[in-house]
Amino acid sequence: MSIRKFLAAGAVAAALVTGVGIDTARAPEASAVECVQNVTIWQAYNKCAGVPARHWDAIKNSASKYGNWASAGQWSKQASCWANVVSYGYSLKA
């Protein structure tokens, strides 16, 4: 098993245990996973140079809610506090 697959599997396992989701439509590089920090139900801080990131909330029986696209050194925040959030995370712009 390559180190990249090992790290990806570890990130998925951690997300399942903590209830925090990571957008896996396009799995980020291991270094990219580390550069988005302080991911909470409300916001995420982007430290990725040159890679915009945005926070998202998955809502029970409703469409997902997305925060603003944030450049490096900025926060992606939700516009409101949503009820019935079942998971949350962030996406990196390809």
Name every residue whose Cβ is closer than 8 Å to that of residue 12 and which is 6 or more positions away in sequence.
22, 24
Residue 85 has pLDDT above 70, yes or no: yes
Classify 59 as helix, strand or coil: strand
pTM, 2 dp: 0.63
Mean pLDDT, rounded, for 34-42: 87
What DSSP designation does 80 have?
Answer: S
Integer Cα distance of 53 and 70 in angstroms = 5
The model's confidence at residue 14, banded by pLDDT at 50, 70 and 90, is very low
